[in-house]
Amino acid sequence: MKVVLSGAAGFIGMSCGLRLLSRGDHVVGVDNLNDYYDVELKYARLSLLKSNSRFKFYKDDITERQRINDIFSVEQPDCVIHLAAQAGVRYSFDNPYAYVDANLQGFVNVLEACRHHRVKHLVYASSSSVYGGNETMPFSEHDNIDHPLSLYAATKKANELMAHTYSHIYNLPTTGLRFFTVYGPWGRPDMALFLFADAMLKNKPIDVFNDGNMVRDFTFIDDIVEGVIRVLDKPATPDGKFDALRPDPATSTAPYRVFNIGNGNPTSLMDYIGALETALGVTARKNFMPMQLGDVPATSADTSELGKWVGFQPDTPVVDGVQKFADWYLAYYQKNGQT
């Protein structure tokens, strides 16, 4: 099939694109290649996709309504994987409009293009951050998510609400995926693992927030991709058991679903750092600091609904995933003369 993939030069985007191409699909990548982080890394990811003749790329911004509609008009995709967004929690404190533009305006542009061009299924990125102040562990799609702790989280919840509206009014099948702390080769330089590796290899201290008392459901990129592709292949359908008197946030009378994609095995930040120390053969100098604004002490994913829907639950051990990241990191930056 033909799939429009927004955020194609991103970490998850490139990884999903390669998987789609490997199984014979046609992929139409869209990315504005902004400078939120190292643009050269984005171009390097993009070059892997461009090596396949079934990949076509548009350097465009999802906030450009007419351009997005034009792309859909020309390409007539069967399905859409929408990953383009303004990422990051802390960045939203100083740059709120970037989130409004990309995550709200951009998302409605994609929704409109999907409904006007009869897309069969829209799969889009949500985030574990939507759980916000909820402290019930593990996080379940059936939980209330009315207390976001950052604008980024609020826009991701808004995306789920917007998607439901289009599923209800236009019968557009939509599936939101709440990603839990994704890591691995080709990852984002603004994420902890990248920052830690860079500092450790330069013999600089690493910042360890909340004095190291953090727990995250670190999820390896290969598991994320497997979940995304399986969900893509099984469009959302109305829930015949939906009870409007006791509405379940995870389902609907419309073709709408949301799922957690997490490892289901929360790991302490100190163990995560320990795995990286082992993988790199370097002991980190740790600068213990208080909790950052907008952060939460722990995340944990209940992935039972994903398992029931597509028969898959992520399970890559952190020590294995971190080793694969470290191997890639050393090879990539040595090749580019930066280590």
- Cβ within 8 Å of residue 20, ≥6 positions away: 3, 5, 27, 229
- Cβ within 8 Å of residue 229, ≥6 positions away: 16, 19, 20
- Cβ within 8 Å of residue 331, ≥6 positions away: none
Separation CA 42–CA 198 (nearest Å): 18
Q: Which residues of 292-310 are buried (b: 16+ CB within 10 A; e: fewer)?
A: eebebebbbbbbebbeebb
Asked if residue 87 lies in contact with residue 38, where contact means CB atoms within 8 angstroms, the answer is: no
Joined tokens for residue 216: 């995250």
Per-residue pLDDT 10s for the chain (339 aa) are 999 999 999 999 999 999 999 999 999 999 999 999 999 999 999 999 999 999 999 999 999 999 999 999 999 999 999 999 998 888 888 899 999 999 999 999 999 999 999 999 999 999 999 999 888 999 999 999 999 999 999 999 999 999 999 999 999 999 999 999 999 999 999 999 999 999 999 999 999 999 999 999 999 999 999 999 999 999 999 999 999 999 999 999 999 999 999 999 999 999 999 999 999 999 999 999 999 888 888 999 999 999 999 999 999 999 999 999 999 999 998 776 665
At residue 339, the pLDDT reads: 54
Phi then psi for residue 30, to 5 deg, are: -130, 130
281 phi-psi bin (left φ>0, alpha ψ -120 to 50, beta other): left
Residues recognised as catalytic: 152
Asked if residue 83 lies in contact with residue 7, where contact means CB atoms within 8 angstroms, the answer is: yes
Q: What is the CATH number of domain 2-188+220-264+300-316?
A: 3.40.50.720
